[in-house]
Structure 1
Amino acid sequence: MSDWHLQDSDLHGYAGGGLAGPPLWSVESHLGACASCRDRLASFADPEAVDTGWARLDASLDAPVPGPVERLLLLLRVPDHTARLLAATPALRLSWLVAIALTLAMTATIARLADPIVFLAAAPLLPLLGVAVSFGPGIDPTYEMALVAPIQSFRLLLLRCAAVVSANTALCALASLALPDAGPGAAGWFLPSLALTVLALLLAPRFGTVTAAVTVGVGWTALVAGLAGALFTAAGQAGTALAVALAAALLARRAATFDTTRRLR
């Protein structure tokens, strides 16, 4: 299979685990194609060390290539297993974020032509969609892996929701620029976004993320329809901030229920 063969020093270094980087890759590539060198390696190497080397090669070949989100998280020093579980969140995929951006752009355009309340009422609903697909069988592609990962379900769901809310907040902030006439009031969607997200998390252990998000979304829609613009006044924002604080405190106290109740759906 080859006109040249590995030197004994290379085989000794490989068997002893002393090779790294390009020399290691070169040796393993040659061994994969050269039966003669494999026989020479087996003649003086510890069989267990050889098996370990092949297992390491198989693992490196089978390992998935990190995507842009995962690479960014790794650059931010997020542990690799946590970065992989976060990057697998459907709401952090490029297609999802593009769809959210287009929805926000269209909503902001309609709100500018009609009433800013249209945007303020719609924007908080978008993070709920991310919460709904953050964790659960049939939704999360890494659900089974997440169940056995060295991380609590509550922490994983909280991390994913924080990432989703952060991405949506950045997109909503950009969309708010389309409402210059609204002034500071154009940011009135922010506190409701937090409130709806925390409320959905509170309901998730009992009803699952999808049902919880839908329930909270329907409640928000009814609340906006009933109170109109009162939610986006100074008093309404203060009340929303208080609701966020109370719901967050309750969520912290109920963190253990995410791992002791039935699986999130």
Structure 2
Amino acid sequence: MTGWHASDHLVARYADGCLPEADAWSLEKHLESCGGCALRVSRAVRATAAGPALDGIREKILADVRGAVPARVPEAAPPAHGPVPGAPDPARPAGSPVRTRPRVYRWPSAGPGAVRLLWALGPAVRGAWLPAVLLVAVGAVALAHGGGIANTRPWLLALAPVVPVAGVALSYGPHADPMHEITAATPSAGLRLVLTRTAAVLAVSLPLLTLAGALLPSTGAPNAAAWLLPGLALTLASLALAGYVGLRTATAVTGGGWLCAVLGPVLTAPGGLTDELGERLSRYLDGAPAQGGWAAAAVLCAALLAARRPAFHFLEKS
């Protein structure tokens, strides 16, 4: 719970139904943790023309609940060899208080915590995307050390920035999550949920691919961590662009643009593909100017993403 509380003007506009949807969602999210504001909003809504209708619905629900309560089931008769209820216990002295064992209620288990965590973090982490990332990382290391191919790091660095972008595309939307309609209807949906699942994708792909790159021979290619800022910048650019064109289109534009910029000239070069790719990656990734440019791009995309925050309440609704 924060120090901010809803003003009387905001509560009145919400009760009248004239508050913009983005502000209404923000207020509803605040009401989940602030009982005082929730009570004020409830009173304001009940004071409007909808108040009598809401009271009628409440009374009907309470009546249905009271009618649905099952009758008390009489206790089963004790076995023939057991004591009769209400009869004095010969083993207890007369006049001593009767002590009963308190009833202990246990909540049913909700399942393993790891399973619930993976489900909340998004479809990309619990779906086919994670095995694909492992295949890329382990395959590159196996080709370098087991297959005798020493120039695998440039190819890994060329593909690494696209991996988190693809994970973000597979983490949010009806095409990826069968429960998306339910999730999108909650106050926690929108940018907050997108950022949570993006953080999960980055937490998996960044250390895994960086470790795999560190295990590969350098052979003149940039260092294994040189792709981190470009990968972060491309991911933020995808999210910022998603506020305009949708998540799948945005990730296709940013990821496809990177692959075309890096691999397109290499495929048409007359020399060796790996040598040409290593030189091009050095221009894109090596040195303070290149890394500073990617850092500035990441900050700019983050600012644009914050400015487009209300658009994420309508992201991938259909």
**Do the structures match in fold with TM over 0.5?**
yes
| In 1, Cα distance between equivalents of 2:155 and 2:199 | 25
Instruction: State the identity %.
Output: 36
| In 2, Cα distance between equivalents of 1:199 and 1:99 | 23
Shift of residue 108, structure 1, vs aligned partner: 4.7
Q: For 1:56-100, what per-residue CA distance to the aligned partner results, in whole angstroms no more than 9, with x for missing partners? A: xxxx6xx96355153xx5xxxxxxxxx8532xx111117532331
| In 2, Cα distance between equivalents of 1:4 and 1:220 | 77
Q: For 1:30-66, what per-residue CA distance to the aligned partner results, in whole angstroms no more than 9, with x for missing partners? A: xxxxxxxxxxxxxxxxxxxxxxxxxxxxxx6xx9635
Are residues 1:144 and 2:197 paired?
Answer: no
SS of alignment partner, residue 174 of structure 2 = coil
Which 5+ residue runs of structure 1 have no aligned equivalent? 9-17, 26-59, 74-82
Asked if 1 retains the 8 angstrom alpha-carbon contact of 2:150 and 2:217, the reply is no
Are residues 1:85 and 2:126 paired?
Answer: no
More divergent stretch after superposition (186-195 vs 216-225): 216-225
User: Which of these two proteins has the greater Rg computed from alpha carbons?
Assistant: 2
SS of alignment partner, residue 309 of structure 2 = coil
Residue equivalent to 1:68: 114
| In 2, Cα distance between equivalents of 1:133 and 1:197 | 13
Q: For 1:205-236, what per-residue CA distance to the aligned partner results, in whole angstroms no more than 9, with x for missing partners? A: 33222221111111111222458121111121
Which residue type is aligned with residue 228 of structure 1?
R
SS of alignment partner, residue 185 of structure 1 = coil
Residues 144 and 65 of structure 1: is their aligned pair in 2 closer, same or farther, counting only changes over 3 Å?
A: farther
The TM-score, its normalising length taken from structure 2, stands at: 0.55
Asked if 2 retains the 8 angstrom alpha-carbon contact of 1:173 and 1:187, the reply is yes
Are residues 1:223 and 2:261 paired?
Answer: yes
Which 5+ residue runs of structure 2 have no aligned equivalent? 1-75, 80-84, 87-101, 266-278
Asked if 2 retains the 8 angstrom alpha-carbon contact of 1:204 and 1:212, the reply is yes
Residue equivalent to 2:193: 156
Which residue type is aligned with residue 105 of structure 1?
V
Residues 149 and 119 of structure 1: is their aligned pair in 2 closer, same or farther, counting only changes over 3 Å?
A: same
Which residue type is aligned with residue 160 of structure 1?
R
Which residue type is aligned with residue 178 of structure 2?
P
Shift of residue 3, structure 1, vs aligned partner: 7.4
Match of residue 237, structure 2, among 177, 183, 199? 199
Task: Please list, as runs of the form range in 1=range in 2, the aligned pairs for 1:173-184 lying within 5 A after superposition.
Answer: 173-179=210-216, 181=218
Are residues 1:99 and 2:132 paired?
Answer: yes
Shift of residue 126, structure 1, vs aligned partner: 0.8
| In 2, Cα distance between equivalents of 1:102 and 1:132 | 19
Asked if 1 retains the 8 angstrom alpha-carbon contact of 2:152 and 2:216, the reply is no
